Structure 1
C-alpha cells in the first residue's frame, strides 16, 4: 500500500508542473503579443515613412487637401494626410493606422535652395550698383546692365580687391514675383474681421498641431504679454504691440501694423498692411517671417524696419500689387544680422555693419547718412550667400522654386 504522504507529494509535484506549464504558456503568449506589437509598430513606421515621402513629393502649388491612402490596396495599411498653409510654409499632418493602432507626425515643409547661388538681385533701372568701404559680396549677383563700380563715400574708397566674389550677370526690369495664391491667402487673412473671435486674455495658450487651430482677437489689447505656442493665430484691425516679456513659438499674427519691443526673443510669423517695426536687440529665430503686403494707393509708405543689433533667421519680404511712387521699404539697422532672405518689391535700406547670410532682392538700394541719401550704394555691409546654412529651407511663396521640398521643422 502507498503511504498517505506519497499522495500529497504527487499532488504537490503535479501542481508545480501545472504552474510551470501555465507560466510557460503565459510567457509565450506575452512574447507573442510583444512580437506582434513590435511588428505592427514597425509596419506603422514604414507606412508613416511612405506617407511623409508622398507629401514631400507632392506638387508644392497644391493648397489645403485631405488625402486617405490605402498604400498596398489590401485594406490593411492606411495613411491619412492633412495638408494646409501655416503662414508662408506648408504644414502637413500624417496619420498611419492599422486597425486601432495609430502613429501621427506633424511638420512644416520648405523648399531646398541649393541651386540658387544668387547673393544680390537688383532690378535694372538703368543705374549702376556702387560699392564702398568694407562692403563684401560673396556669391553670384544679377545687377543692371550699367554694371557695378567702386565709389568713394565720406572720403573712403572700396577696400576689396574685386567687386564681387562670384559671377556678375544681368538682371531684368522687374523682380521675380511672388506666387499669387499665397499672396491672396495672406491678403484674405489681413482683411479678416476679428470681431467675432474671442479676445485674448492673460491666459497662456499651448495648442498642439494635432488639435484645431485657436484664433484670437487682440485689437483692444495695449500689448501682448502672453506665452503662446503651437497653432495660435492673432488678428487685429489696428496696431499690435508685442512686449519683451511675451513668449511666442510658431505663432502667427495678422494686423494693420505690428510693433515688437526692444529685447524680444521668439519665433513667429508677422504679417501687416502698413508697417512692421522691430526694436533693438531683438532675436527672431528660424523660421521666423516678416511679411508686408500693402494695398494700392496707400497714403504713407508701407515699410518693415529693424532696429540696431538684431538677429533675424528666416524670411523678410514686402509686396505691393502695383508699383507706386512710394515703393515698399525694408530697412535693416546697424549691426543687424540676417540668416535667410530679404525680398522687397521696392527699396531695401542697409545701414552700416549689416550682415546678410543669404539672398537680397529689390528694385533699389538706399542708404542715408546725416548729409546725403545714396541710391544703389552699398557701404560697409556684408552680403554672403555662401554663409547661409546648407540645411536652410525657403518658402514656396517665391516663384520659380522648382527644387524639391524637405522637412523644415517637426511640430508637436
Structure 2
C-alpha cells in the first residue's frame, strides 16, 4: 500500500508540474506574441509618421494616390491618398506590414502671413474713426490711411497702425488657387439627380472610408439631425439649418443657405447666391462660408452674418471678373471672426466687429442710420496678432508657407 500511495502521489505531482509548465510556456508564447505585435505596430506607426512627413513636405502634390515600398524589401508599404475637402486638403494614410495595417487621416493647412488688412488700390484712402484699432501689417492704397471725424467723434487712438508695417497694394487682390476654385465650382454645378436622397436623420461616416454624397429635397430643412464626417450634401434650392441640427465636419453645396439663430457646429458651406447667418450663431474651427459667382446674374452674391456671431475659420466671396454688383460680405454688430475674411468686392462692417486675423477686400462700407460710409472703419478692431499662433489657412490663398496638420480626423 505504501508503494502504491507513493506512486499515486508522484503521478499527481508530475501532473501538476506538467500543467504548470504548459501554462508557463503558453504565457511566455502569449507575451512574446504581444511583444512582437507591439514591435510591428510601433514600426507601422513610424511608417505612418514617415508618410505624414512626405505628404506635408510635397506642396505640389495635392490629389491622387501613391504606393510606396519604404525599404525595398516588400514588407513595409504605404498607401498615400490626398484629395480636396472643401477649402482644405485631406490626407488618408495606410501603413501595411505583412498582415497588419494601421491608418490615419488628417486635414492639411498652411501657415499664413502677418497681414491684418489688405485693401486694393481704388485711389482713395482708408479713414479711421472712433475706437477703431488695427494691429499687424497692412497693405493699403497709395492714398494711405488717415484719421477722420465720423458719427460725432474723432479717432480715439494715437497711431493708425500698431505692431506692424505698411506697404502699398495693387488694383486687385492676390489671386486664388484656380484648381481649388474649379473643384468648388464643379461641386456647385454638379448634377444632383443621380445622387440618392438623404433620408437619415443620423449619419456618421469615417474619413477612413469612402465619401458619401446625398442630395437634399427641395427647400430642405435640416432639423433635429446629427450628421458627421466624410459626408457631402447637395441641393438645387435653398437649405435651412435649424438650431437643433448637429453638423460636424460635413460639406453642403446649394444656391442659398440659411442658418437659424442659436446654431452651433462645424461645417463647410458653399453657395452660388447667398449665405445668411442669423444672430448668436457659433461656428467652430475649421468652418468655411464661401459664395462663388458661377454665372452672370442681376443678384449680388453675398454672405451676411447677424449680430453677436462667433465664427472660427474662413469667410470668402469670389467672382472671376469684377461686376457692377460686386460680391458682398456683411458682418453684424459685435460679431467676432477668428480667421480670415476675403471678398473680391465689398466688406460691410458694423460697429463692434472684431476680426482676429486678416481681412482682404476691394472696399469697406459702413451703414449708419444717417450715412453710408465708404472705406471708413468706425469702432472696429482688426488684430492679426490676437489670432492663435496654431491657426492654419487654406491652399486657396496662394503664397502660403509650409504645410502642417490642421486637424486629426476619425
TM interval, short-chain normalised:
over 0.9
Q: How far apart in 2 are the matches of 1:408 and 1:222?
A: 31
Match of 1:126 in 2: 123
Match of 1:339 in 2: 338
Q: How far apart in 2 are the matches of 1:141 and 1:397?
A: 20
Of 147, 150, 157 in structure 2, the residue corresponding to residue 150 of structure 1 is: 147
Of 194, 197, 205 in structure 2, the residue corresponding to residue 196 of structure 1 is: 194
Match of 1:396 in 2: 395
3-state DSSP of counterpart to 1:387? coil
Q: How far apart in 2 are the matches of 1:6 and 1:272?
A: 91
Cα offset for 1:18? 2.1
Alignment map for 1:225-304 (pairs within 5 Å): 225=223, 226-304=225-303
Q: How far apart in 1 are the matches of 2:38 and 2:209?
A: 27
3-state DSSP of counterpart to 2:193? helix
2:211 maps to 1:218: no
Across the two proteins, how many residue pairs are aligned to each other?
Answer: 408
In structure 2, the gaps of 5 or more residues are none
Q: How far apart in 1 are the matches of 2:256 and 2:323?
A: 20
Q: How far apart in 2 are the matches of 1:258 and 1:319?
A: 16
Distance change (3 Å), C-alpha of 1:82 and 1:172 = same
- The TM-score normalised by the length of structure 1 is 0.96
Contact 1:296 1:321 in 2 (8 A): no
Cα offset for 1:48? 1.3
Of 114, 134, 138 in structure 2, the residue corresponding to residue 141 of structure 1 is: 138
In structure 1, the gaps of 5 or more residues are none
3-state DSSP of counterpart to 2:390? coil
Cα offset for 1:247? 0.8
Cα offset for 1:96? 1.0
Q: How far apart in 1 are the matches of 2:220 and 2:398?
A: 38
2:39 maps to 1:39: yes
Superposed CA deviations along residues 168-221 of structure 1, whole A, max 9, x for unmatched, are 211111110110001110110000121121222252111111222221111424
Cα offset for 1:296? 4.4
Q: How far apart in 2 are the matches of 1:341 and 1:272?
A: 18
Q: How far apart in 2 are the matches of 1:5 and 1:296?
A: 101
Superposed CA deviations along residues 318-357 of structure 1, whole A, max 9, x for unmatched, are 1101011111110101000000000001110111000000
Contact 2:218 2:236 in 1 (8 A): no
